[in-house]
Amino acid sequence: MYDIDLNRYTEVVDSAIALRPQIEKAVDEICEQGYSNIFFIGCGGTWAHTLPMKYWVETTTADVDVHCEIAAEFLACPPKAFNKDSVCVFSTRTGTTPEIIEAAKFCQEQGARTLMYVSNDNTPATEYADYKFFSFAEDDVLCEAIYTYQITLVARFLKNAGAFPKYDTFMEEFGKIAPYLIKAKDAQDERCAAMAEDFKDTDYHMVIGSGMLWGEAYDYAMCILEEMQWIKTKSIHAAEFFHGTIELCEEGTSLIMLYGEDDTRKLMDRVDNFTHMLADEKGVHVRVNKFDTAEVELPFSDPEFRKIVSPMVTYTITERLSCHLEHVRNHPLTTRRYYHQMNY
């Protein structure tokens, strides 16, 4: 595979998985003490990665109230549901993001409990963590670490709420996921290289997702194609595609479709079917590229487990496209013009 350190990748995923005992202990303590609700708080990608956690909880039988908040907006206008019995969950690579630090500090000051995943230990954000979880990760593998932390966390809350009886089986099998993710990357590498070559001069993309993968659509559009490649991109929920964005489909328009394995696949199919109608009835041919987690081999004995990890799998395979885009466009994923370059 092009430009990937497989040993480092395995280390990052396995290190995050090894946090399981710490996470279980923290969640068990919180559940024993009692809590009113869970607030996932982030910004940019760390906010987007919380959206599937909310979707997952809300599609179970658990009586668990979950909120996903953008840190700066949370501070500007704290939601009515937030209170001293709330549990506030954060993730940060650097541990220095001002909005995360301020939000965690605010939550603590209000008496709420804070849980913080960081990939840089002893940073300012950890000062406001009641429960700190640290493992090594870097930008290109950060999301696998964050998803591992969040999946383990939510799974434990669901188990304790009596809504995840297969918890032990899931966690045992989830712990074996690293080599399957590497195999998925390898299977997509050649295809993504060809896509990158096709995309290198494309100046506009639509990234479409739904259900567990709506957050990934938002993240890939804004944090990868826009922030890291400076390509104008719109993230669109598949259900909302037909309420405006449909009119932007022209000859050659790029549609990147992220398929998961939850009940919203039919929403994605509707968009896909429309692209065929567009060609047949209007003579307009858009470029459709699909990433489908159903095509990926995973270590699970229960098909229901697959949807839980679908955001993590999607990030893993789309990373191959990002890597090849960086190469063919001669535009490093780390280059910024304004982000963290100005005092805004």
Report long-range pairs for 273-279 (Cβ below 8 Å, ≥24 apart).
274/241, 274/242, 274/246, 275/249, 278/249
Contact 132, 122 (CB under 8 A): no
Instruction: Quote the pLDDT of residue 93.
Output: 87
Q: Hey, what amino acid is at 40?
A: F
Instruction: Quote the pLDDT of residue 299.
Output: 98
State the pLDDT confidence band at 9, using cuts at 50, 70 and 90.
very high
What is the mean pLDDT of the segment spanning 247-271?
98
pLDDT at 139 over 80: no
What does the pLDDT look like over 56-74, one tens digit per residue?
999 999 999 999 999 999 9
Boundaries of CATH 3.40.50.10490 in the chain? 6-174, 178-328
User: What is the model's pTM?
Assistant: 0.97
Alpha-carbon span 6 to 10, nearest angstrom = 6
Domain 6-174 homologous superfamily, CATH: Glucose-6-phosphate isomerase like protein; domain 1 (3.40.50.10490)
Alpha-carbon span 185 to 38, nearest angstrom = 33
Instruction: Quote the pLDDT of residue 143.
Output: 94
State the pLDDT confidence band at 2, using cuts at 50, 70 and 90.
confident
pLDDT at 126 over 90: yes
Contact 249, 271 (CB under 8 A): no
263 contacts: CB under 8 Å, gap ≥ 6: 59, 211
CATH topology of domain 178-328: Rossmann fold (3.40.50)
Question: How crowded is residue 340: how many other Cβ atoms within 10 Å of its Cβ?
Answer: 10
261 contacts: CB under 8 Å, gap ≥ 6: 212, 293, 294, 303, 306, 307, 310
Instruction: Quote the pLDDT of residue 138.
Output: 80
Alpha-carbon span 265 to 254, nearest angstrom = 20
CA angle at residue 185 from 274 to 209, to 5 degrees?
Answer: 30
Q: What is the share, in percent, of the chain residues with pLDDT greater than 90?
A: 94
The residue among 296, 211, 291 whose CA lies nearest residue 255 is: 291
What is the mean pLDDT of the segment spanning 226-243?
98
| pLDDT averaged over every residue in the chain | 97
The residue among 326, 208, 333 whose CA lies nearest residue 267 is: 208
What does the pLDDT look like over 261-309, one tens digit per residue?
999 999 999 999 999 999 999 999 999 999 999 999 999 999 999 999 9
Instruction: Quote the pLDDT of residue 322.
Output: 97
pLDDT at 314 over 90: yes
What does the pLDDT look like over 162-214, one tens digit per residue?
999 999 999 999 999 999 999 999 999 999 999 999 999 999 999 999 999 99
State the pLDDT confidence band at 141, using cuts at 50, 70 and 90.
confident
What is the mean pLDDT of the segment spanning 103-127?
95
